[in-house]
């Protein structure tokens, strides 16, 4: 999981260490009043990129974050960094013939993944489309709000991160704060992102979201089961995105992401693309499947299909 070549390169390590120590010494001399708080501020300031941390370094960081979040939200928060499972590559199926546009997935996701409630951040955007026009994004209705769905003459297309095999967002990041994990999930290190939003410009699916303001996350609604690369609370000024509920699917193999679980009509399917017996493989092999914006060669692992 971590990039060992660069970490074990002595020249790389030396120069960085020296630099860090020097800067830390200078800044330490400034000595802020609250010693404990300032120590954690500097620790987080000098924190390395997730992929360059050694195991003990990572454990220290996780412990610091757990302490910090537990204090903020007044409950025992767990921050894990469960690695990928060998032989697993996640794939997602969405049955357009079933989706009724109820948006339960949108809010189930918000609850599970500790998104900001004020301002609202949604990883899933459900588009209302005309049956006559088909998948025509230029004529999509984003803010449909009838008393009852589905509405006659329309169908619904939820869009979220497509976990591309060839993700344009990863390529453009100037600091490698975002990358594709071995199980295909595209993640962000919220402590490394500089907030330039180039990835937002590069994503063809509108899957990336920026923390324009300090996240409004009520303590009572905070989900304490978190993953470092997933649903832990995000700082202001960084980008976040759907991770297929990395905290669920990695900690408990076989568990579904929140959106799959909450869907009342079973329009959402999830599984291991490398397992020939999986439901997602069956769908790809037997149903009428398409991927969004195929011409961009992003090779999504998010498959739209028509079951009926």
Does residue 216 interact with other proteins by CB under 8 A? Answer: no
Give the pairing type, strands 268-272 and 90-95: antiparallel
- Residue 261 CB, shortest distance to other proteins, in Å, is 25
Q: Please, which of residues 151-170 interact with other proteins by CB under 8 A?
A: 159, 168
> Of 21-50, which residues contact other proteins (CB under 8 A)?
45, 49
Contacts of 151 (CB under 8 A, 6+ apart): 101, 128, 144
> Can you tell me the distance from the alpha carbon of 216 to that of 21, in angstroms, rounded to the nearest whole number?
35
Helix (H) or strand (E) holding 186: strand 186-188
| Site pattern 135..154 for other proteins (x: CB under 8 A) | --xxxx-x------------
Q: Does 196 bind other proteins (CB under 8 A)?
A: yes
d(CA 289, CA 281): 11
Distance, CA of 100 to CA of 97 (rounded, Å): 8
Query: Which residues within the stretch 248-307 sit at the binding site for other proteins (CB under 8 A)?
Result: 296-297
The contact mask relative to other proteins for 57-96 (x = CB under 8 A, - = no) is: ----------------------------------------
Which member of 60, 84, 125, 281 binds other proteins (CB under 8 A)?
125
- Give yes or no for residue 205 binding other proteins (CB under 8 A): yes
Cα–Cα dist 260/268, whole Å = 5
Question: CA dihedral defined by 97, 241, 114, 121, rounded to 10 degrees?
Answer: -80
Q: Indicate whether 54 belongs to the interface with other proteins (CB under 8 A).
A: no
**Closest approach of Cβ 88 to other proteins, in Å?**
26
Which of these segments, 28-36, 69-77, 194-202, 276-284, binds other proteins (CB under 8 A)? 194-202
- Using CB under 8 A as the binding rule, whether residue 186 contacts other proteins is answered as no
Piece of 71-79, 93-101, 186-194, 300-308 that binds other proteins (CB under 8 A) = 186-194
Beta strands 239-240 and 90-95 are unpaired
- Restricted to residues 227-256, the positions that interact with other proteins (CB under 8 A) are 235-239
Structure-token pair, residue 123: 């990883």
Judged on CB neighbours under 10 Å (0-12, 13-18, 19+), 297 is exposed
């Amino acid at each position: 999981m971590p990039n060992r070549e660069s970490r074990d390169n002595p020249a790389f390590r030396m120069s960085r260490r020296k630099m860090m120590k020097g800067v830390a010494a200078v800044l330490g001399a400034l000595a802020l009043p609250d010693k404990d708080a300032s120590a954690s501020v500097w620790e987080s300031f000098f924190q390395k990129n997730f992929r360059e941390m050694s195991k003990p370094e990572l454990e220290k960081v996780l412990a610091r974050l757990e302490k910090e979040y537990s204090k903020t939200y007044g409950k025992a928060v767990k921050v894990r960094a469960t690695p990928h499972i060998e032989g697993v590559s996640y794939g997602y199926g969405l049955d357009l013939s079933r989706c009724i546009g109820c948006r339960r997935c949108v809010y189930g996701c918000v609850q599970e993944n500790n998104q900001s409630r004020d301002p609202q951040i949604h990883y899933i955007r459900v588009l209302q489309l005309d049956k006559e026009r088909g998948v025509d994004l230029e004529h999509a209705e984003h803010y449909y709000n009838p008393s009852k769905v589905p509405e006659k003459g329309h169908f619904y297309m939820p869009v979220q991160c497509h976990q591309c095999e060839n993700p344009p967002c990863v390529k453009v990041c100037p600091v490698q704060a975002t990358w594709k994990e071995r199980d295909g999930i595209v993640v962000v290190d919220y402590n490394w992102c500089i907030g330039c939003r180039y990835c937002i410009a590069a994503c063809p699916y509108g899957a990336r979201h920026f923390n324009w303001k300090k996240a409004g996350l009520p303590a009572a609604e905070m989900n304490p089961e978190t993953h470092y690369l997933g649903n832990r609370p995000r700082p202001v000024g960084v980008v976040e995105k759907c991770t297929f509920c990395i905290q669920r699917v990695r900690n408990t193999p076989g568990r579904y992401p929140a959106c799959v679980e909450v869907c009342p009509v079973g329009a959402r399917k999830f599984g291991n693309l490398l397992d020939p017996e999986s439901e997602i493989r069956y769908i790809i092999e037997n149903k009428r499947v398409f991927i969004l914006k195929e011409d961009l060669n992003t090779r999504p692992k998010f498959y739209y299909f028509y079951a009926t």
